[in-house]
A and B are shown apart, each in its own frame.
Chain A
Amino acid sequence: MDLAYTPKQKAFRAEVRAWLADNLPREPLASYDTREGFEQHREWESRLFDARLSMVMWPAELGGRGCDLTEWLIFEEEYYGAGAPMRVNQNGQLLLGPTLMEFGTEEQKQRFLPRMAASADMWAQGWSEPNAGSDMAAITSKAIRDGDHYVLNGQKTWSTRAIFADWLFGLFRSDPASSRHHGLSFLLVPLDTPGVTIRPIKALNGKDAFAEVFFDDVRVPVENRIGAEGQGWHVAMATAGFERGLLLRSPARFQATARKLVELYRANQASADRDPSIREAVSQAWMDAEAYALSAYHTVGRLARGARIGAESSTNKIFWSELDLRMHETAMRILGARGELLENAEGEANYWLEGFLFAQAGPIYAGTNEIQRNIIAERMLGLPK
């Protein structure tokens, strides 16, 4: 156990901090759930990429700088500590990216990863269907082989920001006689292909945050398949592990929110202290955000020593999503009657209200917390199905 950062780690932290200080947008970007905000975030991502900071863990030849997991944690701490914009292309970069690295051919990696790192291509996810949510193996959208193409028919849903995106990755049934998790293939679909129709779904915040995607005889070249035909479930499950695990939600985000919550409490202490449970909740938020960070460093250290992370990643998903919700609930309680207002007294967007709405989704997306609890019980504790 050595809790000092190395000179190299300190130098990296200093470099990231200095770059962010020089380059952070002066004005907050518009919401990435709008066309205008989406393009602003894409522009920001390309600046990050130019500084080789968009995907620090990726190898240099794919647009990154080959950082290890500890350096990634440091990057995230500086990034969210500085209040930098949310990452608009995370679905691609953090879910599809690692999958391509593990299952993609050399040609596929070269074709997709650098453009993904630069956010030249923006990615949407195509897993859920109207009748395949938590029960993802119930997928019915088809991809029937026709020479060197697949012909796609069916419907995907809950596809985040698909209305603005360039590409979709998803699971399709390539063997029409198959059922459940057999006979599925993992395909990459350009969203401008004829036969693709995208219909936005308004989210709780009133914006087109996600969409339904319809496929009507959509022809996709066979070289857009990741992994072998019929092996899509296996490929997707690896992605699901990355998603609910550490990568998608680094501790720094929640530590930054906990710090803001402490500031909010201190600025409103007289009224907040009328309810003594608020003070306790604020202090607990700091403790839980720290616990999440400590757990991340512990996990990263164990990975460096050769450990494999399995069902523990499901405890991460539960912990961060419920922490995030509690922090935003506490903030709403501190704000009291001001909580519901779309703008604060200075005419700025109500940061806490926006976060409160988004936090409601945390225990639902990326595998509901009920599914995560089943995974923990069955795979970590060994309870019967």
Chain B
Amino acid sequence: MDFTFNDDQLAFREAISRFLMTEAAPEMLRDVWETDAGRSPELRTKIAEQGLTALSVPEACGGLGMDDVAWSLMTQELGYYAIPDSLADTAYVAAGLLTALGADVAGRDETLAQIADGSIRVAVGHPVNPLVADAHLASHLLLAHGDEVHLVPRQLVDVVATPSIDASRRLSQVVWEPTSATRVAAGEQGRALWAQTLDRGALAVAGQALGLAQRMLDLSVDYVAQRKQFGKPIGSFQAVKHHLADVATQIEFAKPVLYRAAHALANGARDAAVHVSHAKLACAEAGWLSARHGIQVHGAMGYTWEVDLQMFMKRAWALDASWGDRAFHKSRVAACVLADGAPLGPGHTFEE
């Protein structure tokens, strides 16, 4: 029994953090917000050079073959720096779905190889999300028709942009016609693939929400240590301290839930879905609490466009209902916990 990360995993996280700290500074984020595409080709190139687009792609297709546990660390960094890119959608969620299709599916290996080398984006249209992220930039889309999975070239779909309050999220309505030519899975297999894809998407959002929560806490700590009123830093006042202590506590107890869910997914555990929903709820709540208390301790400055906090708050707010809203995930947890013979209580935490 060892519920921790090894030194390699921690070094991996540290390396990503150092890379994004220089390449995804808040000023760059502001600049990218103003562009039409909402994406930075330069950042994208650097991400690919770092091998981050290849993390989940199988080694046979030129990737690194890393699992969900690695993504539970990676997505926290993506959230912490609020990178203006839907990297996890392509490199984790789409790559995972394509990998699970099986090697005989036409176009699978080439698409995975192109994901790995960073030359393409693959957008994912899961039924749980009404809109598709980055469809306008994708070379292919993975789309659902009932249980069927379709791998559809971009030119076969119409994309209607629907702007979000988070200018880094580029969401679209996708209009398309399913044909047998684009179908890559159906029936029981399709259903299982979409279920697994939903859990990956939700885990990716949970990790980002947790990273965002930590970033907003760090920004708030810096602000209240500097801002003075009544002749002293406002961070010395108990009411302010307690707001931030509550955020720190919420983050502390969301982290291990995220790691538990990642492990369950990586190992194909029977009860992975309930762990993922738990993680999504815990991390999203940490994100929202950090935003709520963060804006409060920033005072009026927190309500401005000028202070960086706003970019992280908006991402946290937007991701909350992405890959399943709270009602969806609460229902999944309740259905499991309140069912006949549910394995509850001490000693069941690590049953798989």
Which residues of chain A have a CB within 8 Å of any CB of chain B? 1-6, 9, 13, 70, 74, 76-78, 80-81, 251-252, 255-256, 258-259, 262, 265-266, 279-280, 282-283, 286-288, 290-295, 297-298, 300-302, 304-305, 312, 315, 318-319, 370, 372-374, 376-378, 380-385
Interface of B is mostly: helix
| Bound CA–CA A384/B345 (angstroms) | 41
A76 engages B334 (CB within 8 Å):
no
Interface of A is mostly: helix
B257 engages A290 (CB within 8 Å):
yes
The 8 Å CB contact of A384, one of B225, B337, B352, is B225
Q: Answer whether A385 and B236 are a contact pair too, CB < 8 Å, given A286-B337, A380-B248.
A: yes
How many Cβ-Cβ contacts under 8 Å join chain A to chain B? Answer: 173
14 A-B contacts, Cβ less than 8 Å apart? A5-B1, A283-B330, A287-B257, A287-B281, A297-B3, A298-B255, A301-B3, A304-B2, A370-B238, A372-B245, A377-B242, A380-B245, A381-B217, A381-B244
Q: Does B46 contact A (CB under 8 A)?
A: no
Interface membership of chain B positions 86-112, coded 1 if the CB is closer than 8 angstroms to chain A and 0 otherwise = 000000000000000000000000000
The 8 Å CB contact of A373, one of B5, B246, B259, is B246
Chain B residues with CB under 8 A of A300: 3
B249 engages A2 (CB within 8 Å):
no
Q: Which of B254-273 contact A (CB under 8 A)?
A: 254-257, 259-260, 263
A266 engages B338 (CB within 8 Å):
yes
**Smallest CB gap from B277: residue in A:** A287
B352 engages A3 (CB within 8 Å):
yes
A231 to nearest B CB, angstroms?
29
Chain B residues with CB under 8 A of A265: 338
A287 engages B282 (CB within 8 Å):
yes
Chain A residues with CB under 8 A of B238: 370, 373-374
| Bound CA–CA A315/B2 (angstroms) | 22
B338 engages A1 (CB within 8 Å):
no
B263 engages A301 (CB within 8 Å):
no
Q: Answer whether A293 and B349 are a contact pair too, CB < 8 Å, given A305-B4, A312-B252, A373-B246.
A: yes
| Bound CA–CA A255/B348 (angstroms) | 10
A291 engages B256 (CB within 8 Å):
yes
B3 engages A383 (CB within 8 Å):
no
The 8 Å CB contact of B245, one of A6, A76, A293, A381, is A381
Chain A residues with CB under 8 A of B282: 287, 291
